[in-house]
Amino acid sequence: MEDVGVVECLTTCDGIYEGDSNHSRRRHHHHHHLVVASAMSHNKALSPATSVHELLQCPVCTNFMFPPIHQCLNGHTLCSICKLRVNNRCPTCREELGDIRCLALEKVAESLELPCKYCSLGCMEIFPYDNKLKHEAQCNFRPYNCPYPGSECSVVGDIPFLVGHLREDHKVDMHIGSTFNHLYVKSNPREVDNAARMLMVFNCYSQYFCLHFEAFLLGMAPVYIAFLRFMGDAVEARKFGYRLEVGANGRKLIWEGTPRSIRDSDQKVRDSHDGLIIQRNMALFFSGGDRKQLKLRVAGRIWKENST
């Protein structure tokens, strides 16, 4: 059954709220205890308890090492990315690094099958070592980036964590219900640079949706766009639809569509024009008065597809 309740609220926006981007990322480390029998060309024998996971962990960045894996003359290993960062000096013994590759460790790596690092979040897939990174970059269980626009916020997490982050750190309005009626006010309607705003987050159908309103140039023409993003993946987003409308003085513009997943950035959605686009002159016409201030009422509703 469809959620009910109309949201009536007022936003004044003369600047963009800059959220704190210094939050720590949530990291998930998983240890796979496959014991290595040989010393992997090291002078010092390895303990039987040493795991392949530990052998393949770069001592500088602590990430998995993928071929090419480099080593110094004393057998200390590091990844190819960090080799460029350490000024040709081994970070363990400070000996000069050459171009020696640890072929034995590379062979061990190529023979492994490892679970996705997001297995604790629900991914049960297992991959050959060299396919692991490619999968994890697109894994459906990977954490989501903060969906707040314009701030380049680096926070990542699951949906409940990000909802709290948007409310507490970005001060986004939270509303319950599938219908809304929002009055957006801006004192300088000719400003288009960095004019990105998340108007509110809706909780309906046990899901969360973000309403965006942004100003940008379409070619040389200044326009506004309103659109909805779904806090979840694209498959779940396609189960919902939404309608936006703006109007006044006997005129109305209407948009109906499917919300985009927050996997797609607000800039990507905006640049694909996937939303209700309003030319500035039309927006000022809807605002009434002397057209020196933007007062645009954005109304709409969200529904679940095939719901009765």
* pTM, to two decimals: 0.68
Residue 251: predicted pLDDT: 87
Domains: count for the chain? 2
Q: How far, in Å, CA of 246 to CA of 277, rounded?
A: 10
Is residue 263 assigned to a domain? Answer: yes
pLDDT of residue 18: 34
Last residue of one domain, picked from the residues 137, 165, 192: 137
Please report whether residue 151 resides in a domain.
yes
Q: Kindly state whether residue 177 falls inside one of the protein's structural domains.
A: yes
Q: What is the CATH number of the domain that holds 274?
A: 2.60.210.10
**Tokens 């000096």 sit on residue:** 89
126 and 167 inside one domain: no
Whether residue 29 lies inside any domain: the answer is no
Query: Has residue 24 been placed in a domain?
Result: no
**pLDDT at site 129:** 77
For the chain, counts of helices (H) and of strands (E): 8, 18
Whether residue 89 lies inside any domain: the answer is: yes
pLDDT at residue 308, rounded to an integer: 43
Last residue of a domain, one of 95, 116, 137: 137
Residue 170 belongs to a domain: yes
Last residue of a domain, one of 91, 110, 137: 137
Which is it for strands 179-186 and 240-248: parallel, antiparallel or unpaired? Answer: unpaired
Instruction: Give phi and psi for 234, each to the nearest 5.
Output: -65, -35
Inter-residue contact 104 to 71 (CB < 8 Å): no
Do 229 and 126 share a structural domain? no
Range of the domain at 90: 52-137
Ramachandran sector of residue 129 (left: φ over 0; alpha: ψ -120 to 50; beta: rest): alpha
Q: Are residues 73 and 129 in the same domain?
A: yes
**Is 231 found in the same domain as 178?**
yes
E strands present in 81-206: 100-101, 113-115, 126-128, 144-145, 156-157, 173-176, 179-186, 196-204
Same domain, 125 and 183: no
Residues 193 and 272 in one domain: yes
Same domain? 115 vs 171? no
CATH code at position 132:
3.30.40.10
pLDDT for residue 162 = 96
Q: Do 52 and 65 touch, CB atoms closer than 8 A? A: no
**Do residues 290 and 242 both lie within one domain?**
yes
Which two tokens mark 115? 């679970």
Amino acid identity of 228? L
Closest Cα partner for 108 from 43, 51, 52, 42?
52
Provide the pLDDT for residue 176: 95
The pLDDT, as a whole number, for residue 54 is 80
Whole-number Cα distances in Å, 226 to 63, 242, 305: 40, 12, 21
User: Which pLDDT tens digits describe the chain residue by residue (308 residues)?
Assistant: 444 433 334 433 333 333 333 343 333 333 333 222 233 333 344 443 347 778 888 889 988 888 889 999 998 999 888 988 888 889 899 888 888 999 988 888 888 787 888 888 889 988 887 788 889 888 988 999 999 987 678 999 999 999 999 999 999 999 999 999 888 877 776 665 556 677 799 999 999 999 998 888 888 888 899 999 999 999 999 999 999 999 888 889 999 999 999 999 998 999 999 999 999 888 888 887 676 778 888 999 999 987 54
Report the 10 Å Cβ neighbour count for 300. Answer: 23
Residue 4 in any domain: the answer is no
